[in-house]
Chains A and B, each alone.
Chain A
Amino acid sequence: MPELLQTEAPLRIVIVGHVDHGKSTFVGRLLNDTHSLPEGKVEAIAASCKRRGVDFEWAFLMDALQSERDQNITIDTSQIWFRTPRRPYVIIDAPGHKEFLKNMVTGAASADAALLLIAANEGVQEQSRRHGTLLSLLGIRQVAVLVNKMDLVGFDQKVFDSIEKEYRAFLERLKVRPLAFIPMSARQGSNVAAPSPELAWHRGGTVVEALDGFQAPAAPTELALRFPVQDVYRFDHRRILAGRVESGSLKVGDTLVFHPGGKSSRVASIERWAAPPAQEARAGESVGITLAEQIFVERGHVAAHAGDPMISSHQVHARLFWLGKKPLEPGRRYKLKLATQEAEVELKEIRGVLDSSTLETLPGRPAKVERNEVAELVFSSRRTLVMDNYDLHEATGRFVLVDGGQACGGGIVFGEAYLDEEKAGSTPTEIYFSESAVTEAERRALKGHKGCVVWFTGLSGSGKSTIAKALERELIQRGVHATLLDGDNLRFGLNRDLGFSAQDRRENIRRTAEVARLFADSGAVVLTALISPFREDRAAARQVAMDGGREFLEVFVDTPLETCEKRDPKQLYAKARRGEITEFTGISSPYEPPERPDLALRAESQTLQDCVTAVMDLVLARIRTKG
């Protein structure tokens, strides 16, 4: 539509500063001096002031809500539009009161640039510093500092110079370099849109000039691709991955690698509705893509190009600001949201806590992070998270921490910590197991016994399942919570993707051992019936249980091969002999009998009942609770 040029995107400005340093007055004045007020607004407020019997204040313009006028504090983020000859702006008013820091963060996080107000008569205050710290953590790079209320100090250059010196030094420690320092008076309109004779000594221009000097934000199309998957849709018989390209670009035909996991597939198409067909999607675009090779992808995966690794870890090294009512402390669980990933995490280590107003590191080793503090921390997650160093990729380098359903903290990822680990030759694979809130003793009291793992091993047809089933029944009848994990059954579900190669058998056992241990943790007596032919794999299964502090009883069902083959209940030996099944234990793959089993059963010469009783005696002795 050439005859109708689009309205330009406004530059988003946040105005922060200590309470009562004149933010609302400044905004009212700025709107007025840039001729941005709706018709009748000033008159309406003047009339309202008259009714209330108070003097007209520019600040009332911002106080859109009744309760704000009552409290005399701006309590939430509002947005107000204005324009200069150069371009439109939207002001996000951010409250200065300490109680409302979370609103300040909400407003400031979405800003392209910030104006930081300091009252000349009061100088740099706690919130002036705190807000500076938050702006730097929130990633606001463009800042101008306005020294307001110069009229109250007689427009004295010395006052201005000393505030500038002090605050510049503070911001320098945060690596924030303001684009301008401007002496001004909002009440009198000095140096807002027009220069003022009283401030002729200052050569740095007006606030409006500083605003017009800020750069409009640009989507990071030049960076490497990051495409976090938001969702997978199955519309019109097609599988479409929905998401926003956070940086870089992707093209039809590109091979994408999905992290974590590293599976790859080519982009078959880029999907949009009621839009011209596209071969490319660039940073900032919300699109759908289809893949040429169908791989498992879900919300939380992040696509990147091959050869461009992301950090993939159970640990998150971060600098974080905390806004929660309750302190952030080790031992409690939080939800971490990073791009479209969500994970339950625990605070593992507090490396240091800073007072965000003084930037001083608190002495000693703080046990928790209090509200409004900034800390360097290590979190551990139960699932693998993929992320980037914040300096390289904003969208995948920062996260929000949720406590009790509310966002309570924001963190940026410290990539250097991972580099150190890489240099040290160790991949960050530590997994942290969260402590359950229910104690072992409580579980025992509930069931009347401990949990344990009873691992049956033996050839196919040796009688493992038959004995285990009978044992399960007997234990249940005695009030013991027993449960059977049968190898054949597990292959229908948990292990259905596994075959019978040595590698798959190992994985089969690893998974079964993990599941058994979890059941045992919950207090159950777990019986497993798997051939589990290799000593090493059984040793690994024992280790899994032992690591969890669970008893592991290895029961060898020692039935000779000839007998098993003669029984051949599933006709498997026959098939193996004919070569229809490969890698069959005892025929084409070895069975390594246990050297020192906890119990060996000669199922050939013992009755089923004898076998069951023998195992039962062993199990009951081991699971009995004391006291």
Chain B
Amino acid sequence: MDNLDKLENQSIFILREAFAKFENLAMLWSIGKDSSVLLWLARKAFLGHVPFPVVHIDTSYKIPEMIEFRDRMAREWNLNLVVGQNRGALEKGETFPLGRKTRVECCTLLKKDALQATLEAKGYTGVFVGIRRDEEGTRAKERYFSPRDKNFEWDFKDQPPEFWDQFTTDFEKGTHIRIHPLLHWTELNIWEYIHREKIPVVDLYFSREGRRYRSLGCAPCTGSIESAASSVPEIIEELRATRVSERSTRAQDAESEGAFEQLRAQGYM
């Protein structure tokens, strides 16, 4: 059994544990490479099916190719797609940079608040999220099964222990548990797996005119990197050589020291 097999088997195990324990489950799909791999793993776990809704939090600032890709895959993979959006904030124009909100405030309104409202409206008690420990410091602190309280908050200082593949599956009414089946994967593992399994990803990841996206988010806050990698194997080669962190192009993280930590403690993905 090689490394990708091990990663895959562990993720399938986690997906199935969650499916066995939660009645009202959903999977967050950001259209990015990680959550697309997560969807693929769900189909592995449930033998070709995705037996729960797939939720996309649409800030309306996503790069247009992402939305096209989303709608195409939803049709091809027969997904039950739920789109969540903070229409109130968008109508009032409370966004960055036009609405004089900071990047972090904009993320809070359009992503975190929209997510919270969607989860509450649908009553999901378990939510799959495709985050990985190697992305950045606060995600490294995560558990596979991570409880969120009534205010959506994550108390990373007082998390239940998690060991021997026994997970926190009890929760109080009004709270939910985030489930992170990709927690043990790295960015490189993700691309190697995409290559092996031939998983479709948005074209934005591939170099056009010398630039490509390494991490995808909203158009105003996500930058591209200089890169000639125009295929999955070329991306893998590039990542093996790089010593620059993956989220370096995500401007909201850099707005202040601890900005991303704050966002996550409040309930960001």
Chain A residues near B (Cβ < 8 Å): 1, 3-4, 6-9, 37-39, 48, 64-67, 75-81, 102-103, 105-106, 109-110, 138, 219, 230-231, 233, 235-236, 240, 242-244, 271-275, 282, 284-286, 288, 299, 323, 335, 337, 340, 395, 398-400, 402, 405-408, 410
Chain B: which residue is nearest A8 at the CB level?
B3
Which of A37, A81, A105 is B186 in contact with, Cβ under 8 Å? A81
Pick from A8, A78, A106, A284: contact of B9, CB below 8 A.
Answer: A284
Task: Tell me the nearest residue of chain B to A300, going by C-beta.
Answer: B20
**Binary contact track B120-142/A, C-beta < 8 Å → 1, others 0:** 00000000000001101110110
Q: B198's closest neighbor in chain A, by CB?
A: A274
Q: Name which of A231, A282, A323, A410 has the most chain B CB atoms within 10 A of its CB.
A: A231
Query: Given that A233-B46, A274-B43 are known contacts, is A407 also in contact with B161, CB under 8 Å in the complex?
Result: yes
Asked if B153 is an interface residue, CB under 8 A from chain A, the answer is no
Please determine whether A273 and B134 come into contact, CB atoms closer than 8 angstroms.
no
Contact A9 B3 (CB under 8 A): yes
Contacts A138-B163, A410-B164; A4 near B157 (Cβ below 8 A): no
Q: Tell me, rounded to whole Å, the shortest Cβ–Cβ distance linking B79 to chain A.
A: 15
- Distance, CA A286 to CA B5, complexed state (A): 10
State in angstroms the CA–CA spacing of A277 and B19 once bound together: 24
| Contact, CB under 8 Å: B141 / A78 | yes
Nearest chain B residue, comparing its CB with the CB of A102: B161
A76 touching B161, Cβ below 8 Å: no
**A284 to B6, alpha carbons, bound, how many Å?**
7
Contact, CB under 8 Å: B170 / A402: yes
Contact residues in B for A37 (Cβ distance below 8 Å) = 243
CB-CB under 8 A from B186, the residues of chain A are 7, 81
Number of interface residues of B (CB under 8 A): 62
A77 and B141 contact, CB distance less than 8 A: yes
Q: A65-B156, A230-B16 are in contact. List 6 more A-B contacts (CB 8 A).
A: A65-B138, A243-B16, A244-B9, A337-B166, A406-B168, A407-B163
Q: Are A7 and B133 in contact (CB under 8 A)?
A: no
Residues A67 and B157 in contact, CB atoms below 8 Å apart: yes
Residues from chain B with a CB closer than 8 A to the CB of A230 are 13, 16-17, 20
Cβ-defined partner of A285 (8 Å) among B3, B9, B170? B9
User: In the complex, A284 Cα to B257 Cα: how many Å?
Assistant: 41
Known A-B contacts A282-B1, A286-B45; the reply to A231 vs B16 at CB < 8 A is yes
B83 sits at the interface (CB 8 A): no
Which chain A residue shows the least CB distance to B188?
A: A7
Distance A275 CA – B16 CA, assembled complex (angstroms): 18
Alpha-carbon distance A37/B242, docked complex (angstroms): 11
B residues with a Cβ closer than 8 A to A are: 1-6, 8-10, 12-13, 16-17, 19-20, 40, 43-49, 133-134, 136-138, 140-141, 143, 156-157, 159-166, 168, 170-172, 186, 188-189, 192, 195-197, 233, 236-237, 240, 243-245, 257-258, 261
- Determine the distance from Cα of A526 to Cα of B257 in the docked complex, in whole angstroms: 69
In this complex, which of B19, B133, B240 has the most chain A Cβ atoms within 10 angstroms of its Cβ? B133
Selected contact of A64 from candidates B13, B17, B140, CB within 8 Å: B140
For the complex, what is the distance from the CA of A236 to the CA of B47, rounded to whole Å? 10
Q: A7-B189, A7-B192, A286-B9 in contact; A271/B47 too (CB < 8 A)?
A: yes
Complex Cα distance A288/B244, Å?
40
Using Cβ atoms and an 8 Å threshold, which residues of chain A touch B168?
Answer: 405-407
Contact B162 A233 (CB under 8 A): no
- If A39-B244, A79-B134, A286-B13 touch, whether A274 touches B161 (CB-CB below 8 Å) is no
A64 contacts B20, C-beta separation under 8 Å: no
Interface centre among A7, A8, A236, A395 (most CB of B within 10 A): A7
A39 touches B243 (CB 8 A): yes
* Smallest CB-CB A-B distances: 8 pairs: A64-B137, A109-B163, A405-B170, A102-B161, A286-B12, A400-B166, A9-B3, A406-B160
21 contacts between A and B (CB under 8 A): A1-B195, A4-B233, A6-B3, A7-B3, A7-B189, A37-B243, A64-B141, A75-B156, A78-B140, A103-B159, A106-B161, A106-B163, A230-B20, A233-B47, A273-B43, A274-B43, A274-B44, A284-B6, A286-B10, A407-B160, A407-B166
Q: Taking A39-B243, A67-B157 as contacts, is the C-beta distance between A105 and B192 under 8 angstroms?
A: no
Q: Is the Cβ of A76 less than 8 Å from the Cβ of B156?
A: yes
Q: Which of A38, A76, A80, A288 contacts B157 (CB 8 A)?
A: A76
* Contact (Cβ within 8 A) B243 A38: yes
The contact of B245 among A38, A272, A408, by CB within 8 Å, is: A38
- Asked if A273 and B47 make an inter-chain contact with CB atoms under 8 angstroms apart, the answer reads yes
Q: Are B243 and A76 in contact (CB under 8 A)?
A: no
A405–B171 touching, CB < 8 Å:
yes
Please determine whether A235 and B12 come into contact, CB atoms closer than 8 angstroms: no
Q: Which of A48, A64, A337 has the most CB of B within 10 A?
A: A64
State how many angstroms separate the Cβ of A405 from the closest Cβ of chain B: 4
Closest to B43 in A: A273
Docked CA distance A6–B186 (Å): 12
**In the complex, which of the residues A38, A285, A399 contacts B1, with contact meaning CB atoms closer than 8 Å?**
A285
The answer on a CB contact under 8 Å between A4 and B163 is no
A242 CB to closest chain B CB, in angstroms? Answer: 5
In the assembly, what is the distance between CA of A402 and CA of B159, in Å?
14
Q: Chain B's nearest CB lies how many Å from the CB of A96?
A: 16
Determine the chain B residues whose CB is within 8 A of the CB of A66 once the complex forms. 257-258, 261
Which residues of B have CB within 8 Å of A109? 163-164
Whether the Cβ atoms of A398 and B140 lie closer than 8 Å is: no
B13, A102: Cβ atoms closer than 8 Å: no
Q: How far is the CA of A405 from the CA of B147 in the complex (A)?
A: 10
Chain A hits for B192, CB < 8 A: 4, 6-7
Q: Give Cα distance in the complex from A496 to B47, angstroms.
A: 35
Partner of B47, one of A102, A235, A406: A235
A337 to B13, CA, bound (A): 16
Bound-state Cα–Cα, A399 to B140, Å: 25
Cα A60 to Cα B209 in complex, Å, equals 39
Q: B134 touching A81 by the CB < 8 A rule? A: yes
Q: CA A54 – CA B26 in complex, angstroms? A: 46
A1–B16 CA distance with the chains assembled, in angstroms: 29
CB distance from B107 to the nearest CB of A (A): 18
A79/B140 in contact, CB under 8 A: yes
A272 to B141, CA, bound (A): 32
Distance in angstroms between the alpha carbons of A331 and B85 in the assembled complex: 49
State whether A1 and B233 are in contact (beta carbons under 8 Å apart), knowing that A272-B44, A284-B6 are contacts in the complex: yes
List of A residues within 8 angstroms of B137 by Cβ: 64-65, 78
Q: Is A102 a contact of B160 with CB atoms below 8 Å?
A: yes
Contacts of B6 in A (CB 8 A): 9, 284
Which residue of chain B has its CB nearest to the CB of A110? B163
Q: How far is the CB of B105 from chain A (nearest CB, A)?
A: 19
